[in-house]
Structure 1
Amino acid sequence: MKLIETEKAVGMVLCHDLTEIIPGVRKGAAFKKGHIVTEEDIPHLLDMGKRHLYVWDLGDGYVHENDAAARMARAVCGANISGGAPSEGKINLKADCDGILKIDRAAVYDLCRDPEICLATIRPDRLIRKGKQVAGTRVIPLAVKEETVQRFEEICAAHAPVMEIVPLKPAKIGIVTTGSEIQSGRIKDSFGDVLRAKAAECGAEVIGQVFPGDEEEAIAQAIIDFIAQGATLVEVTGGMSVDPDDRTPAAIRRVAEPVSYGAPVLPGAMFMLAYAGEVPVVGLPGCVMFARRTIFDLIVPRLLAGERITREDIVAQAVGGLCEGCETCTYPACGFGG
């Protein structure tokens, strides 16, 4: 920052807002911090009594905050994320389509170790709608050295993509609802409507629902049948606890390789994930039927985007895995799954 005569400030960056007062008309910033002074500005500045200005001189290897933000946005945005025009040095990054937000946390931490860099994101690994802001970036001062921006670009190139939106794939879901009490008609199924609504949220098609009762062989065969029909995900409901009549986990193990039975998430502790080849099979606990948001919402949309979920992915849900049961649910704009 330096003090300079106003007539000599063309091409330089203002270090603070310049307020103009016209009695009875307006009072406000005629020129904002970060403005690049032009020849046309000089008469106006002199009329305001500004004979000297505090400025950054961009000729000394510095990059203006707007230009820095634009370069940083281009560097950090992966597939299906884009930035708008800079506003007061900041650029908002938004989703170009529906999908799952993926972020390389290590890369973001590395970028933000520079005290002149700001890159703030929302929580990743969740379903994002087109147009949603997912991040914002800027530099802290009005101008930064060229090497600061270059370092940002180099880190992004080494970790590319730092962030991206993975679109949901066209999905076909088969629902296997266990329980002799439902098969016999003693009680009405309540899972089907819930799962159809959740499928609609993700743009997926439910190709059918069957009621094989409690026998392991019948449940396993129902899973096999849906896969043969082209299901890309099979959801098995009920029978997920440790009661002697609950045979769902054993039935799933007959036809699929388990990844996890149990999850550090409440509600959703009795969740099961397995793979029959490339097709995920999920065992859904009863909470999915009555709780507004559960383990289902943290994991199933990621499966529908084609992500191969591991045991470590399940373990990673532990911090933030407790739903607070707010009276007014704001998910996903909350800490659940953080």
Structure 2
Amino acid sequence: MPRIDLDAYVAANARSWVRLEELVKQRRRTGAEADELVDRYQQVATHLSVVRTSAPDGELVAHLSSLLGRARISMLAARVPSWRGVARFFTEQFPAALYRLRWWWLGCLAGNVLVTGIMMIWLAQHPAVEQNLLSPEQVDQLVNNDFESYYSENAAGAFAAHVWLNNAWVSALCIALGILGLPVLWLLFQNVANLAIVGSIMVRHDRGDLFWGLILPHGLLELTCVFVAGGIGLRLFWSWIEPGALSRAAALARAGRTAVTVALGLAVVLAISGVIEAFVTPSPLPTWARIAIGVLAEVVFLAYVFVVGRAAASRGETGDVSATLLEDRAATQA
């Protein structure tokens, strides 16, 4: 881009900078003034980009950067969550993030299901391992009492909250520790190992119908959420191993922001799973009805990802935060 006459450029645009300064200093704004603040912010961000590219003046760049920084803080402070924003999150950002990253969590899901199946078959064929893990009395207590009573020994509401907190914590750990890679694999292995051990014991003692009847209603959606978190965590790890065209810092930042989107959405999905576990799993409904509810919940989630998420992604939604919340960048033309 050719150099510009800086004095002329300042004279032409100084009024916009002064107006943005005035809007930033206002404690209260009307709706029109709030809209003007956003418009002026974007306008001055473009001015800053032009100055940086065509007539880099340190003092002016510092002034405009400071002004934009204060404007951004002002916009964030005035940003009040609305039903429209919540609706956009669940119809655009969250499903788009799930869809765009589908191969990561679908691979995680398939791998964990395969490992669980192999472990259950192997453990069922090697009863000596069971004897090393639990005493005969503990096995008897698990098979005849503990496994079933776990779902009904506490009040449903309190149990739902406990389950939600536990699963949300595991999912959050999978995402938060994703940057390190290996801890995510360890968390996932612990999760499926416990499932495989209990499942093999129940099946070997002819209580497989009880095991599957109590696990499947809530477990399909619950474990899918955990595997989604694991896949997103591994994607976060891979973002700094193989950043592509971005710098490692930029790639990690973008993956991290999308991971936060997924974590927030999963908290809601896990709450639904917790309600199913507390109110449906121990209910007197026939086994086929309870499992059908679990299958329906899983189908609805997958449809949400591959119908709503695919549509949102096709409209350009990425699951990242709004561009207005990122650092001041504006495209300019020569």
* Structure in which a larger fraction of residues adopt strand: 1
Q: Higher relative contact order by CA 8 Å / sep ≥ 6: 1 or 2?
A: 2
- TM surpasses 0.5: no
Structure with higher helix content:
2
Q: Which has the larger radius of gyration?
A: 1
Q: TM-score, normalised to structure 2's length?
A: 0.25
